[in-house]
Amino acid sequence: MVRTGAQILLECLQREGVDLIFGFPGGAIIDIYDELPNHPIRHILVRHEQGAVHAADGYARASGKVGVCLVTSGPGATNTVTGIATAYMDSVPLVIFTGQVPTQLIGNDAFQEADIVGITRPCTKHNYLVKDVRHLAFTIKQAFYLARTGRPGPVLVDLPKDVIRATAEFHYPETMSMRSYNPRYSPNRKQLRRAAELIAASSRPVIYAGGGVIAADAAGELTQLARTHHLPVTTTLMGLGAFPGTDPLWLGMLGMHGTYTANMAINNADLLISIGARFDDRVTGRVDAFAPRAKIIHFDIDPTSISKNVMVDVPIVADCRQGLVGLMEELARVSGVDWRGKHATWLAELATMQREHPLTYAPGGEYIKPQWVVEKIYEITQGEAIIATEVGQNQMWAAQFYRYNRPRTFLSSGGLGTMGYGFPAAIGAQLAFPDRLVIDIAGDGSIQMNIQELATAVSYQIPVKVVILNNGYLGMVRQWQELFYNKNYCATCLHINPDFVALAKAYGAEGFRVERAEDVEPVLRKAFDYPGPVFVDVRVEPEENVAPMVPAGAALSEMLLV
């Protein structure tokens, strides 16, 4: 049957099971918006294209589905770049549709023309410029296939206006394969056997898990491996929730703001079992001093991540879930090992570290402690909320002082560190799970990066709760200035902030301010029970620091405890 390009696009989205897209219209894609009411796809009108991508990203991270957004050409397209790069760094499956000027005007500096394919080439898994409507359906099928398979990531499809208006026979491929793209899901059995032998020979092993475990839906297998073989577990920021944060084998997050125990465990381990993590610089610190006593096993679906930053002894290219299942099969063949007794001394040593060097802060004093606010959020929600964060101190306190027992409950920009991510991501997560409590833990600097999306939340009555840890600073940069630049607080003091409560009310949301410690819990409870979007402005200790901290370029063993 003959369809216009706009009709083909929307039919393809339905075939892919898309029922929700985040977008902002414009002239180049007005034909798609003209067709949109004829299809059962819910469209969320954001207030900025960056918000659209972050919202689609939050939807994808929380649900495990592919997030979709639709924007126009030129500035509409370029406004998505930060969100695309954010998703790319954290391996989040997105498909972004951008409008483009008519094909005959491409390269002519036409109105609202931008080479978005060229601009996004370094930060997409793949991208396309569709020049012929007859190729549109196949391209969209391929885009979704690429986004969700292998190492997930964002894929962009650029749609010239004349292609959208042209007509063609509609045929949607049932299946997809690409000769040059064959992700490897099954692990090499010989390498699994080597890994099992190393684990059986090890007396001081540590599992170091990353976001790849969550992407592969392998949290259950990871937990089974650790508990069966009495293996202590640490995760990256992206891996929070891959292993229960209340389990006795949990060491806390590792890296720059990781726990003393996790970092020292890495330093003293004789075997590191890395699963779905990529050894980024925030985790390793000084690479030549990372895990100096350990042999390293590395599971990853992306072969280019193997030995990219740290040389490994046993590389296993595979889907994390299939890799873990295979490893447990090989370990089951190892006979005569008393796993509990074998690792008892090591686990006791780590438990002593945790007692002697827990995550802590100085309570009381004149101001509300931000860490205590996060602990209160955990206590009230019993760990059942989906937590999104902005980036900075708020992000690290949310990672340290909230316990994540399930995957897809912690949403944060890890690789790119994008301020302004959390609020629109929380909107996306809330739309994925309308009946769950979704909280954005924010700073007063970062919330202002995409605060316009409060209009989106109010328009659709998306009941996201935003808890602003308001310290009047760009806190993480100020902390670095304090510790490493002789307290030269240049351009980090936010002398003028908006009245967040009045601002929330101006948008039509609810707002509360908290200035006394005794008001924190009752106000949080009131906010969490409120049926619509809420801002809670908590005035916290202005110069509180995130601790521990590994200085940039230092080894994990050189961490500062206060």
Which residues are marked as active site? Answer: 49, 111-112, 161, 476
**Pairing state of beta strands 167-169 and 2-4?**
antiparallel
SS3 468: strand
- Specify whether the backbone of 241 is left (phi greater than 0), alpha (psi in -120 to 50) or beta: left
For residue 126, which phi and psi values (nearest 5 degrees)? -165, 160
CA angle 129, 301, 186 (to 5 degrees): 115
Distances (CA, A) of 261 to 49, 272, 384: 41, 15, 26
Residues pairing with 317 in the sheet: 300
3-state class percentages of the chain: helix first, strand second, coil last, to nearest 5 = 45, 20, 40
Q: At what angle do helices 393-401 and 370-381 cross, to 10 degrees?
A: 50
Whether cis (ω within 30° of 0) applies to the bond prior to 37 is no
Give the C-alpha separation, 250 to 207, whole Å: 10
**Structure tokens that stand for 321 in this block:** 């879930």
Helices (H), 392-499: 393-401, 422-432, 454-459, 475-484
246: exposed, middle or buried (Cβ count in 10 Å: 0-12, 13-18, 19+): exposed
